[in-house]
Amino acid sequence: MLSDDELALLEAIRSTGSLSRAAAHLGKAPSTVSHAARQLETRFDALLFDRRRYRLQLTPAGELLTREAGRLVQDVARLNQRVKQVANGWEDRLHVVTDEILEFETLLPVIRAFDALQSGVRLRLTHEVLGGTWEALREGRADLVVGATNEPPAMPKLRWFELGTMDWVFAVSPRHPLAKVAGPLSQDAVGAHRSVVVADSSRNVGRAYGIVGGQATLAVPSMRAKILAQRDGLGVGWLPRHRASALLRSGQLIEKAMSEPREPNTLYVAWRSDHEGRALSWWLEQLRQPRLAKRLILGLPVSAENR
Amino acid sequence: MLSDDELALLEAIRSTGSLSRAAAHLGKAPSTVSHAARQLETRFDALLFDRRRYRLQLTPAGELLTREAGRLVQDVARLNQRVKQVANGWEDRLHVVTDEILEFETLLPVIRAFDALQSGVRLRLTHEVLGGTWEALREGRADLVVGATNEPPAMPKLRWFELGTMDWVFAVSPRHPLAKVAGPLSQDAVGAHRSVVVADSSRNVGRAYGIVGGQATLAVPSMRAKILAQRDGLGVGWLPRHRASALLRSGQLIEKAMSEPREPNTLYVAWRSDHEGRALSWWLEQLRQPRLAKRLILGLPVSAENR
DNA sequence: ACAACATGTGCAACTCCTTCGAACGAGTTC
DNA sequence: GAACTCGTTCGAAGGAGTTGCACATGTTGT
């Protein structure tokens, strides 16, 4: 291994281009530097210095060594920083997984506030669809899950609280055939039309929201895309009521009563009680604030303006 | 910086889960290990060991440190290997740039033979179009250029030799309008038809082979694609005679005489006389062999079978 | 051409750090 | 409760790293 001193020595030799100057630069005796240099060569079993001329020079091998050694120093410095950070109770990294029905933008202020803490914790945010959130937690891909749907499954050391409930509305474009059907819609009536589903492209499991067996589907990458697709009459399906509200008001989407209404979804925040660090605690504290929870659940209404 | 011993110490503590066993494992006295461990904590200014219970354990910070330290050790071992390699005269890496008119496959046997040397030199092969090869050499993106076209430009420390000459044939599909024109074709006659050009997609400079100003062009990614495109009548242009030979024989391409014939191209091998390592020398030695040079220049004829 | 200076190296002496053994307190096992 | 395992403290010993000096070699200035 390369010691700190040896690294500094190499660097000094490179920059000054001479042993004695390097020695002066390091505040050591010239003989020390000479000795240490030889020792380095012995240890690496390679000629690092070209001593044929008056002032010695680094050989290509020595050049490579100093260059790469410099990078190593940086790596070690970073590691040092990370170790201290972890020792102070901050995680090395925090992986937050949100359910796709939450809009990423609503988390931005929280991320900004977290950044302002200067904790050094590397944030990683991804999203999953349906049970994918719980699975991510179980498999250790997630440290914190926000907005998970369905009941929390049995899992050792699982902890959770409710974020809130989300109301749904079955809505169609005014130009869609279902718009003209009077009275509450039955499952069969809906099944004859194509439904729009949010599907996760990254993991190719056939997961999607609100699929009924055998129904034709249009898979889109996000809830926002689903709302827009239904506005344009490309298909039908359940939408978060608040996010569709503006379009419902402007008449670009029409609410349809259903023979089997959809129960409001309860959304959960969940984590594992092992490795609870300061970053996780901070996030939990934020998410327990009713104002933030409400903003997350409601999401950003899709504006009626952009047609 | 982390010394070799400290690394071994951390690893031993992690695997044995106790200081005394770690000491026995390392062949040292327990007191030594205890002392060193404390010193580590002082240096990192962080609690690395949890001593509250009977047998001490690594804290999360200590865990992180040992884990990452292990990676560092590997990095250093690799660096060690590379330094030795360079000290033995091998380059750390060799960047070979070929002109696009050479077929990559013809270099495969050479690459295999080079691999068999077990030199440890990391090969990197890319291709350029037209002057791009010389530019790559000038800008240090290439250590060796194979098959460069045009005359070697003025460049300090440039060295080169001729690889051979490449003959061209102007060929069109039998279904192409130009196929029926009798006698040598003039520039104007050709200019009325779309030409197929090889263009480099990676660098978006508007470089291509055989463009005449104002002529409609079809840009394709390789010489092989150009030959196939011309076979299918998508355009016209000059082709390496040998590579088109099979298609000319089978009648899928027809050679046309030209009022201004194209001079055979001389192809060059070039490198810079600074940093000449063993890998470069080896490649030059190979490329000087007439058999290989001929194979490179002629390339792989595009087979007449696959329609 | 000669002196003055700079540079790298070998050697003996020195200094400080690492290592060790012994002793001790605390916790565990039978 | 005795025998043990474990981690720590402390002073002493050994050794690696460091230093000053002498010397050979090469460079610069007058």
Handedness of CA A192, A197, A201, A204 (dihedral sign): negative
Percentage of chain B exceeding pLDDT 70: 93
Would the pLDDT of A212 be above 70?
A: no
CB B94 within 8 A of CB B122: yes
Residue-wise pLDDT for A7-33, tens only, equals 888 888 888 888 999 999 888 999 999
Would the pLDDT of A215 be above 80?
A: no
Scan for tokens 């240490």, then name that residue: A36
CB A101 within 8 A of CB A223: yes
Using CA atoms, how far residue A189 sits from A17, A186, A197, A252, B8, in Å, is 84, 5, 18, 21, 70
Domain boundary among B50, B72, B87: B87
Strand D contacted by A53 CB (< 7 A): yes
Strands A168-172 and A237-240: antiparallel
Which structure tokens are listed for A263?
């129960």
Same domain, A159 and A278: yes
Would the pLDDT of B159 be above 70?
A: yes
Rounded (5°) CA angle A76-A82-A85: 145
Same domain, A19 and A154: no
Percentage of chain A exceeding pLDDT 90: 54
Check residue A188 and give its pLDDT.
85
Task: Note the CA–C1' distance, B32 to D12, in angstroms.
Answer: 14
Q: What are phi and psi of B261, to 5 degrees?
A: -65, 155
Which structure tokens are listed for A20?
């004695």
Q: Which of A78, A79, A81, A143 is the best mutation test for B, with the most CBs of B within 10 A?
A: A79
Q: What is the mean predicted confidence (pLDDT) over B172-197?
A: 90
Same domain, A44 and A177: no
Q: What is the mean predicted confidence (pLDDT) over B112-141?
A: 91
Same domain, A147 and A24: no
Amino acid letter, residue A185: L
Mean model confidence pLDDT for chain A: 88
A260 inside domain:
no
Check residue A134 and give its pLDDT.
92
Same domain, B157 and B22: no
Domain that residue A41 falls in: 4-87
Which structure tokens are listed for B41?
């904590």
All residues of chain A having their beta carbon less than 8 Å from the beta carbon of residue B84 are: 44-46, 61
Minimal Cα distance from A83: which residue of B? B61
Indicate which CATH number applies to the domain containing B69.
1.10.10.10
Would the pLDDT of B204 be above 50?
A: no
Mean model confidence pLDDT for chain B: 88
A306 inside domain:
no
Check residue B132 and give its pLDDT.
85
| Alpha-carbon distance A122 to nearest alpha carbon in chain B (angstroms) | 14
A112 inside domain:
yes
Same domain, A215 and A73: no
Same domain, A33 and A160: no
Indicate which CATH number applies to the domain containing A123.
3.40.190.10
Check residue A238 and give its pLDDT.
93
Would the pLDDT of B137 be above 80?
A: yes
Would the pLDDT of B189 be above 90?
A: no
Same domain, B191 and B203: yes
Check residue B2 and give its pLDDT.
77
Amino acid letter, residue B180: K
B243 inside domain:
yes
Of A185-189, B1-5, B130-134, B292-296, which gets the smallest average pLDDT?
B1-5
Percentage of chain B exceeding pLDDT 90: 56
Confidence of residue A203 (pLDDT cuts 50, 70, 90): low
Helix (H) or strand (E) holding A68: helix A60-87
Check residue B202 and give its pLDDT.
54
Residue-wise pLDDT for B29-58, tens only, equals 999 999 999 999 998 889 999 988 888 889
Same domain, B54 and B23: yes
Q: Which of B86, B92, B93 is the best mutation test for A, with the most CBs of A within 10 A?
A: B86
Would the pLDDT of A204 be above 50?
A: no
Same domain, B130 and B277: yes
Would the pLDDT of A48 be above 70?
A: yes
Same domain, B177 and B222: yes
Q: Which nucleotide is nearest to A53 (CA to C1')?
A: D26
Indicate which CATH number applies to the domain containing A237.
3.40.190.290
Q: What is the mean predicted confidence (pLDDT) over A288-293?
A: 95
Would the pLDDT of A208 be above 90?
A: no
Check residue B244 and give its pLDDT.
92
d(CA B235, CA B249): 20
Confidence of residue B74 (pLDDT cuts 50, 70, 90): confident
d(CA B108, CA B113): 9
Q: What is the mean predicted confidence (pLDDT) over B138-147?
A: 94
Minimal Cα distance from A62: which residue of B? B83
Task: Note the CA–C1' distance, B68 to D11, in angstroms.
Answer: 36
A304 inside domain:
no
Would the pLDDT of B11 be above 90?
A: no
Same domain, B174 and B248: yes
B204 inside domain:
yes
Q: Which of A4, A46, A65 sits opposite B1 (nearest CB)?
A: A4
Q: What is the mean predicted confidence (pLDDT) over B263-271?
A: 93
First vs last Cα of chain B: how many Å apart? 64
A231 inside domain:
yes
Bigger pLDDT: B251 vs B215: B251
Bigger pLDDT: A73 vs A85: A85
Domain boundary among A71, A87, A103: A87
Domain boundary among A87, A120, A147: A87
Confidence of residue B178 (pLDDT cuts 50, 70, 90): very high
Task: Note the CA–C1' distance, B53 to D1, in angstroms.
Answer: 23
Using CA atoms, how far residue A92 sits from A52, A96, A139, B184, B237, in Å, is 49, 13, 18, 74, 60
Q: Who contacts B291 (Cβ-Cβ below 8 Å, separation ≥6)?
A: none
Which structure tokens are listed for A271?
């984590």
B304 inside domain:
no
Of A115-124, A198-207, B97-106, which gets the smallest average pLDDT?
A198-207
Confidence of residue B201 (pLDDT cuts 50, 70, 90): low
Q: Who contacts A97 (Cβ-Cβ below 8 Å, separation ≥6)?
A: A125, A126, A127, A128, A132, A133, A136, A137, A141, A142, A144, A145, A146
**In total, how many domains does chain B have?**
3
Q: Who contacts A262 (Cβ-Cβ below 8 Å, separation ≥6)?
A: A168, A170, A238
